[in-house]
């Protein structure tokens, strides 16, 4: 592997597949270089110059992706970059906090900067938005859950970021759990028929069924659904669904949810709020790279902004 043992262990402690993250980072760096070199840095930076790159939060938020940054520095620096973790994933940080410092050849740091920030800003943005939703339902038993509305190729990292923000994950793929939605119901000829078909084919698999009415809810509860997705139910209908279900299945609200109504839905007693926006619409957390001179022990004697574009 091209990433260090230290970075590998950090990724594994985070519950991430180090080999998969290495492949993703290699692809991201290759995309940025496009078969060439960082022409601007090579032209302007002496080969033997060394610096420290501080990754600094410009706004407050929740951090996610520090081990991934380690991997980026390893891939680009090939052992020439050392990193010092100053914040940890899931940590709430204030504006101005230094999240990670990397020291090594200046050219390598500048080459790695944008890939590192692209991933760290995106993942920290997801964690920050998730934490806002979690705060809205604090004091209830309702959990904030993601969906499969993820960026192709980044699902594992985006769902990891949701966990960093205090949320929980829905299924990771089409194969690890069943979710019967309206198109499956249409194809099978009815909600009960669709549920029975999945349960018959995959008897040991948890089956969630989407319903859009209380009548459909009663049908799938009688059929033995493990989890029911309440599609676009308003708060009053959700409360009635919780009452009718009476603990026979877990309930998940989905569709039309926003932060300003999260607490009202949680108060009904529903088990999950499914929020696709956590991954498909989270704004990035503003994080910048500040380059400074390396005096040999990681302390700076000068500072300059290095916000790559």
Catalytically active residues, by annotation:
114, 149, 181, 210, 231
Question: To 10 degrees, the CA torsion angle through 167, 123, 90, 71?
Answer: 130
Token pair for residue 147?
A: 């969906």
Q: Which residues contact 104 (CB under 8 A, 6 or more apart)?
A: 50, 51, 73, 77, 80, 81, 82
Rounded alpha-carbon distances, angstroms, from residue 131 to 24, 125, 150, 276? 26, 10, 18, 14
Q: Are 63 and 99 in contact (CB under 8 A)?
A: yes
Token pair for residue 117?
A: 């920030």
Q: What angle do CA 58, 99, 285 make, to 5 degrees?
A: 40
Rg of the chain taking only CA atoms, in angstroms? 23
- The distance of Cα 129 from the centroid of its chain, to the nearest Å, equals 10
């Amino acid at each position: 592997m091209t990433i260090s043992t230290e970075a590998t262990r950090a990724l594994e402690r985070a519950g991430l597949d180090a080999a998969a993250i290495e492949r993703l980072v290699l692809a991201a760096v290759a995309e940025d270089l496009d078969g060439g070199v960082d022409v601007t840095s090579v032209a302007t930076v002496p080969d033997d110059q060394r610096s420290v790159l501080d990754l600094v939060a410009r706004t407050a938020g929740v951090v996610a992706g520090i081990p991934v940054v380690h991997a980026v520095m390893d891939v680009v620096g090939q052992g020439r970059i050392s990193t010092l973790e100053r914040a940890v994933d899931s940590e709430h940080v204030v504006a101005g906090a230094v999240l990670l410092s990397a020291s090594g050849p200046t050219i390598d740091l500048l080459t790695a900067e944008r890939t590192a920030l692209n991933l760290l800003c995106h993942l920290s943005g997801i964690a920050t938005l998730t934490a806002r939703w979690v705060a809205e339902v604090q004091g209830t038993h309702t959990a904030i859950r993601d969906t499969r509305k993820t960026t192709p190729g980044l699902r594992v990292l985006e769902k990891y970021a949701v966990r960093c923000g205090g949320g929980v994950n829905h299924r990771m793929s089409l194969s690890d759990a069943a979710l019967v939605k309206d198109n499956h119901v249409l194809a099978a000829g009815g909600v009960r028929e669709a549920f029975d078909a999945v349960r018959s084919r995959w008897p040991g698999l948890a089956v969630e069924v989407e319903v859009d009415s209380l009548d459909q809810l009663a049908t799938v509860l009688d059929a033995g659904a493990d989890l029911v997705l309440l599609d676009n139910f308003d708060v009053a209908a959700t409360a009635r669904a919780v009452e009718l279900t009476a603990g026979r299945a877990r309930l998940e609200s989905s569709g039309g949810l926003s932060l300003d109504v999260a607490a009202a839905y949680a108060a009904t007693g529903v088990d999950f709020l499914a929020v696709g926006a956590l991954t498909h619409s989270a704004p990035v957390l503003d994080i910048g790279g500040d380059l400074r001179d390396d005096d040999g022990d990681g302390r700076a004697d000068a500072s300059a902004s290095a916000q790559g574009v």
